């Protein structure tokens, strides 16, 4: 019997989104170049911004000022994340859903949607297909339905971790699923999840009520807003927040994401592990309201301004966007992307070169293979990484902030990125990708200042090339 969550909120749960205050900040914050430069200076010291300061950056419309914001976002990205880009893939487990979100092809009332839930054998098949191209990090995605309760989700997480083919294995499993009660979060935590991701979709109360019908589970704004607070209280470590850009004013959603980050930081002494900023995309049997759709230019501004507002939060750019735009925006502060993604249920073994909209929640903009994306990142001088070291060594939640310690990136993140990249090049890459990848590794290895770390990293890279040794983390 599937357990219904008890609707108990977190201790001291509060609705921290004040629509009037945020709307007034948008309407009344005037463009002020010197104020913008003051705020940028604070960001460049890697200090988190207050919501009023983020509003100052949002009010900047003058193209030269916006270019200054872009340049500072690039610089801050380099300072905090270096040139690493972490890779993952989404795996949709099931699309039954009791909700009726108006922007979603999987909504309950869409009778045309092809409904399916992977069997255990099919989960193994999909995971093996992902491992056979080199993936090490997955996010599992579920509709909201009693059959996808905490026990079932924990079971699927274990199924993914126990699936290994050749030198392939999944080392970190993140979750994008409905909010749970405390007991539910404890269950999935025990199964070894990494990040628990819940998108508020829109933080604007009236818009939320318009898109999420009353009486559906997702119609409860506060249950969702409080979702990750309950997860923290159930001792889950890493949280992922996000908004679906295009439902309401993008500036309102940016201010709300910053408010949410500060709220979690204040209450649990650690902000979100990641922020996602998906843009509304065409979906099967969905008529989109065009009013708040975000232009490519404003999308670049929102990514740069989020980067500057939450310096230590990972930023996820997904394959919703086109290859061209992803390539352009990467430098503005993105730290994680998916690649080689298919979101049709069973898509990693069944989907051909074209997308099947009836089987997708929304249309993807980028369905290139993992190897194509890897090669482009390497050609753009990024270090593609499959690192999962912090998560598996317990450097999670507030312990993750060691990140901020000078030299941590040089001594841990870069060598770990290089060993996971070498594994990919030796075990899965095309000859063209391996050629450009080995050049990047040689350059980055030479750049490691600590001679002891450099020697140890060089030895581990040699072992990956010459032996079966794998998973050599710092």
Interacting residues toward ligand SF4 by CB under 6 A: 97, 99, 101, 104, 106-107, 143-144, 218
Nearest-angstrom CA–CA distance, 93 and 450: 44
Residue 212 Cβ vs ligand SF4, minimum distance, rounded to whole Å? 7
Pairing of strands 172-176, 274-276: unpaired
Residue 82 Cβ vs ligand SF4, minimum distance, rounded to whole Å? 34
Residue 201 Cβ vs ligand SF4, minimum distance, rounded to whole Å? 7
The answer to whether residues 446 and 462 touch, using CB atoms and an 8 Å cutoff, is no
Q: Which residue has the tokens 């990484």?
A: 385
Would you state the structure tokens that stand for residue 382, as one six-digit string?
């990024």
Task: State the number of CA atoms in the 13 A half-sphere of 40 facing the CB.
Answer: 21
**Nearer of residues 142 and 386 to ligand SF4, judged by Cβ:** 142
**Nearer of residues 144 and 371 to ligand SF4, judged by Cβ:** 144
Q: Which residues are CB-contacts of 405 (< 8 A; sequence separation ≥ 6)?
A: none
Residue 152 Cβ vs ligand SF4, minimum distance, rounded to whole Å? 16
Residue 391 Cβ vs ligand SF4, minimum distance, rounded to whole Å? 25
**Nearer of residues 346 and 437 to ligand SF4, judged by Cβ:** 346
**Nearer of residues 97 and 441 to ligand SF4, judged by Cβ:** 97
Residue 178 Cβ vs ligand SF4, minimum distance, rounded to whole Å? 7
Task: State the number of CA atoms in the 13 A half-sphere of 90 facing the CB.
Answer: 25
**Nearer of residues 199 and 474 to ligand SF4, judged by Cβ:** 199
Q: Which residue has the tokens 């193209």?
A: 63
Report the length, in residues, of the chain. Answer: 474
**Nearer of residues 146 and 397 to ligand SF4, judged by Cβ:** 146
**Nearer of residues 200 and 259 to ligand SF4, judged by Cβ:** 200
Residue 262 Cβ vs ligand SF4, minimum distance, rounded to whole Å? 26
**Nearer of residues 107 and 172 to ligand SF4, judged by Cβ:** 107
How many of the other CB atoms lie within 10 Å of CB of 292? 18
Nearest-angstrom CA–CA distance, 222 and 219: 9
DSSP for 75-107, written as a single string: HHHHHHHTTEEEEEEEEEEE---S---TT-TT-
The answer to whether residues 201 and 212 touch, using CB atoms and an 8 Å cutoff, is yes
The answer to whether residues 5 and 180 touch, using CB atoms and an 8 Å cutoff, is yes
Q: How far is CA 159 from CA 118, 128, 140, 164, 338, in A?
A: 12, 11, 11, 10, 21
Nearest-angstrom CA–CA distance, 417 and 273: 18
Helix (H, G, I), strand (E, B) or coil at 4: coil
Residue 445 Cβ vs ligand SF4, minimum distance, rounded to whole Å? 44
């Amino acid at each position: 019997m599937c357990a219904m969550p008890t609707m108990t909120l977190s201790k001291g749960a509060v609705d921290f989104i004040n629509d009037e205050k945020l709307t007034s900040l948008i309407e009344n914050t005037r463009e002020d170049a010197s104020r913008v430069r003051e705020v940028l200076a604070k960001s460049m010291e890697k200090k988190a911004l207050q919501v009023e300061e983020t509003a100052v950056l949002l009010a900047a419309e003058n193209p030269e000022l916006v270019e200054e914001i872009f340049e500072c976002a690039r610089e801050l990205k380099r300072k905090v994340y270096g040139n690493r880009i972490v890779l993952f893939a989404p795996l949709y487990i099931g699309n039954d859903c009791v909700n009726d979100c108006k922007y979603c092809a999987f909504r309950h009332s869409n009778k045309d949607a092809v409904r399916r839930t992977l069997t255990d054998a099919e989960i193994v098949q999909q995971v093996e297909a992902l491992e056979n191209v080199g993936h090490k990090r997955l996010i599992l995605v579920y509709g909201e339905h009693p059959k996808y309760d905490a026990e079932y989700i924990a079971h699927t997480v274990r199924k993914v971790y126990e699936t290994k083919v050749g030198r392939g294995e999944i080392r970190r499993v993140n979750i994008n699923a409905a909010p749970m009660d405390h007991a539910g979060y404890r269950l999935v935590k025990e199964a070894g999840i990494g990040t628990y991701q819940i998108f508020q979709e829109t933080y604007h109360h009236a818009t939320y009520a318009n898109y999420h019908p009353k009486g559906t589970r997702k119609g409860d704004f506060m249950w969702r807003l409080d979702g990750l607070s309950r997860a923290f209280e159930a001792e889950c470590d890493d949280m992922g927040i996000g908004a679906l850009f295009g439902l309401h004013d993008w500036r309102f959603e940016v201010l709300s994401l910053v408010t949410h980050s500060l709220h979690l930081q204040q209450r649990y002494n650690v902000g979100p592990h990641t922020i996602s900023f998906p843009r509304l995309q065409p979906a099967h049997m969905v008529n989109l309201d065009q009013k708040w759709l975000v232009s490519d230019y404003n999308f670049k501004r929102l990514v740069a301004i989020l980067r500057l507002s939450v310096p230590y939060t990972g930023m996820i750019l997904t394959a919703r966007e086109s290859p061209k735009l992803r390539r352009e925006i990467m430098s503005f502060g993105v730290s994680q992307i998916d690649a080689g993604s298919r979101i049709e249920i069973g898509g990693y073994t069944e989907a051909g070169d074209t997308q099947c909209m009836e089987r997708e929640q929304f249309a993807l903009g980028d369905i290139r293979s993992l190897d194509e994306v890897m090669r482009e990142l390497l050609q753009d001088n990024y270090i593609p990484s499959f690192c999962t070291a912090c998560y598996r060594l317990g450097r999670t939640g507030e312990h993750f902030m060691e990140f901020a310690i000078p030299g941590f990136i040089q001594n841990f993140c870069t060598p770990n990125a290089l060993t996971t990249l070498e594994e990919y090049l030796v075990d899965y890459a095309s000859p063209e990708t391996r050629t450009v990848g080995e050049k990047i590794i040689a350059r980055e290895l030479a750049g490691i200042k600590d001679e002891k770390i450099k020697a140890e990293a060089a030895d581990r890279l040699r072992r990956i090339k010459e032996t079966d040794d794998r998973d050599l983390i710092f």
